[in-house]
Amino acid sequence: MMRPESKLVRIEKPVYGGAFLARLDGKAIFTPLTLPGEEARIRIVEDKRAYATAEAEEIVQAAPQRIAPDCRHFGACGGCHYQHADYEAQVKFKREILLETLERAGVRASVEIDVLVAEPWRYRNRIRLAFDAAGDFGYRGRRSHAVVPISECPIAAPILLKTATAFTQAVRIVAPRLRPTEISLLCNADESALVASVFVDRAAKESFNDLARAWAEQVPSLAGVELVLSGRGDDRPRTVDRWGADSLAYHAAGFDYRVDHGAFFQVNRWLVDDLVERVAADCKGKLVWDLYAGVGLFARKLASKFERVIAVESASPSLAGLKENLKGVHAEAIQSDTLSFLRRQKDARPDLIVVDPPRTGLGPETATQLIRIAPPAITYVSCDPATLARDLRALTSSGYTIEAVTLVDLFPQTFHLETMVKLRRN
CB 197 within 8 A of CB 226: yes
| Nearest CA-CA partner of 225 in 179, 166, 269, 184 | 184
Q: For 7-66, which CATH superfamily applies? A: Nucleic acid-binding proteins (2.40.50.140)
Distance of CA 310 to the CA centre of its chain: 24
In eight-state DSSP terms, residue 36 is T
Buried b (16+ CB within 10 A) or exposed e, 300-321: bbbbebbebbbbbbbbebbbbb
In eight-state DSSP terms, residue 156 is B
Q: What is the pLDDT along the chain (426 residues), one digit of tens a residue?
A: 556 789 999 999 999 999 999 999 999 999 999 999 999 999 999 999 999 999 999 999 999 999 999 999 999 999 999 999 999 999 999 999 999 999 999 998 889 999 999 999 999 999 999 999 999 999 999 988 899 999 999 999 999 999 999 999 999 999 988 899 999 999 999 999 999 999 999 876 568 999 999 999 999 999 999 999 987 766 788 999 999 999 999 999 999 999 999 999 999 999 999 999 999 999 999 999 999 999 999 999 999 999 999 999 999 999 999 999 999 999 999 999 999 999 999 988 999 999 999 999 999 999 999 999 999 999 999 999 999 999 999 999 999 999 999 999 999 999 999 999 999 999
CB 12 within 8 A of CB 22: yes
Domain parsing of the chain, residue ranges: 7-66, 91-120+267-425, 126-250
**Edge-to-edge strand list for the sheet holding 39-47:** 7-10, 39-47, 51-61, 27-32, 19-24, 13-14
Q: Do domains 91-120+267-425 and 126-250 have the same CATH topology?
A: no
Q: Does domain 91-120+267-425 have CATH number 3.40.50.300?
A: no
| Nearest CA-CA partner of 41 in 11, 86, 68, 19 | 11
| Nearest CA-CA partner of 155 in 130, 186, 124 | 124
Q: Does domain 126-250 have CATH number 3.30.830.10?
A: no
Beta bridge partners of 224: 195, 244
The per-residue DSSP string of 224-279 comes to EEEEEEPP-TTPPPEEEEEEE-SEEEEEETTEEEEEETT----SBTTTHHHHHHHH
CB 420 within 8 A of CB 403: no
How confident is the model at residue 76, as a pLDDT? 96
| Nearest CA-CA partner of 35 in 89, 72, 104, 100 | 89
In eight-state DSSP terms, residue 101 is H
Q: How far apart are CA 280 and CA 181, in angstroms?
A: 40
Q: At residue 158, what are phi and psi to the nearest 5 degrees?
A: -55, -35
Q: How far apart are CA 7 and CA 129, in angstroms?
A: 36
The residues, any chain, with a CB within 8 Å of residue 39's CB and separated by 6 or more, are 8, 9, 10, 11, 59, 60, 61
Hey, which bits of 25-125 come out as E strands?
27-32, 39-47, 51-61, 113-116
Q: At residue 53, what are phi and psi to the nearest 5 degrees?
A: -110, 150
Q: How far apart are CA 215 and CA 145, in angstroms?
A: 28
Helical H segments across 73-207, by residue range? 87-104, 158-174
How confident is the model at residue 206, as a pLDDT? 64
Q: How far apart are CA 395 and CA 388, in angstroms?
A: 10
The residues, any chain, with a CB within 8 Å of residue 34's CB and separated by 6 or more, are 11, 20, 22, 40, 42, 56, 59
How confident is the model at residue 204, as a pLDDT? 67
